[in-house]
């Protein structure tokens, strides 16, 4: 079977609601932050469906023995927030995945060339090949940052088929690059927007997510 990049836009009313809030230019920083946290929570909930490994066992209820399914504690789970803006989605993700290890990756785009550079890399030298990896970054625009992140991860043994990206707004250039290089990867986005302008901003997008989260 040919593998393809999977991109899901979950048709969830709460995802739509919080997307509307973060798009609105009138939303103040404090509300923007909590809306991004909510999106992190709901997108992680959706992404975990067929991704988080479980194991079947039995438990004894007060009345009888019955089958039970638990999250498998043996399989490592990692969350990789792309700084800065990916930190906004981290809290919601961490709430749902309390046992996950968090590996920060700091990437910033040059405002003229739009090329990303790495200023912080807390990734381990090698990942267990079974590790489930969740990348958080609200914006996939030209795709430079997410492609850099994926290259850093796959060089360290991460399997793209076991990787999920959660983002708020994805744009075609980033999705095309991911599709060409990483078939088998899965992206969960609150929406897919049409274009990236010549300054590297997604249109209509939501502006600069990092600046709006941190008020800088
Ligand atoms: C933004 C955004 C993504 C990246 C997307 O980060 O949060 O990481 O740009 O753009 P790309 O797909 O064209 O690479 P930015 O570099 O502005 O840094 P920040 O998160 O610190 O604001």
Q: Given ligand 1 and candidates 210, 212, 215, 216, which is best to mutate, with the most ligand atoms within 8 Å of its CB?
A: 210
Is 57 among the domain residues? no
CB 77 within 8 A of CB 102: no
Is 61 among the domain residues? no
Total domains in the fold of the chain:
1
CB 186 within 8 A of CB 155: no
Is 89 among the domain residues? yes
Phi, psi of 78 (to 5 degrees): -130, 140
Question: Is the peptide bond preceding residue 188 cis, with omega within 30 degrees of 0?
Answer: no
Residue 74 structural domain: 6-52+68-214
Is 179 among the domain residues? yes
SS3 193: coil
CATH number assigned to the domain comprising residue 173: 3.40.50.2020
Of 69, 48, 59, which Cα lies nearest the Cα of 162?
A: 48
Residues with CB under 6 A from ligand 1: 82-85, 107-109, 114, 116, 137-146, 174, 200, 209-210
Is 63 among the domain residues? no
Is 62 among the domain residues? no
pLDDT tens, residue order, the chain (216 aa): 567 899 999 999 999 999 999 999 999 999 999 999 999 999 999 999 999 999 999 999 999 999 999 999 999 999 999 999 999 999 999 999 999 999 999 999 998 999 999 999 999 999 999 999 999 999 999 999 999 999 999 999 999 999 999 999 999 999 999 999 999 999 999 999 999 999 999 999 999 999 999 998
Q: Given ligand 1 and candidates 176, 189, 209, which is best to mutate, with the most ligand atoms within 8 Å of its CB?
A: 209
Measured in angstroms, how far is the CA atom of residue 70 from the centroid of ligand 1?
A: 36
């Amino acid at each position: 079977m040919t593998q393809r990049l999977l991109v899901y836009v979950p048709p969830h009313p709460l995802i739509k609601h919080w997307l509307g809030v973060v798009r609105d230019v009138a939303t103040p920083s404090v509300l923007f932050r909590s809306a991004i946290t909510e999106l992190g929570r709901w997108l992680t909930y959706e992404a975990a469906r067929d991704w988080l490994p479980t194991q079947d066992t039995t438990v004894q209820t007060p009345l009888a023995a019955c089958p039970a399914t638990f999250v498998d504690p043996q399989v490592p789970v990692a969350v990789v927030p792309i700084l800065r803006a990916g930190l906004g989605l981290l809290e919601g993700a961490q709430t749902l995945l309390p046992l996950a290890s968090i590996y920060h990756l700091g990437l910033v785009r040059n405002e003229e060339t739009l090329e990303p550079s790495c200023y912080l890399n807390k990734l381990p030298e090698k990942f267990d090949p079974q590790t489930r990896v969740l990348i958080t970054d609200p914006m996939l625009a030209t795709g430079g940052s997410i492609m850099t992140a994926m290259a850093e991860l796959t060089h360290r043994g991460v399997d793209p088929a076991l990787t999920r990206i959660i983002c708020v707004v994805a744009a075609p250039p980033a999705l095309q690059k991911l599709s060409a290089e990483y078939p088998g990867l899965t992206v969960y986005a609150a929406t897919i927007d049409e274009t990236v302008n010549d300054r590297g901003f997604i249109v209509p997008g939501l502006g600069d997510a990092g600046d709006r989260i941190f008020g800088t």
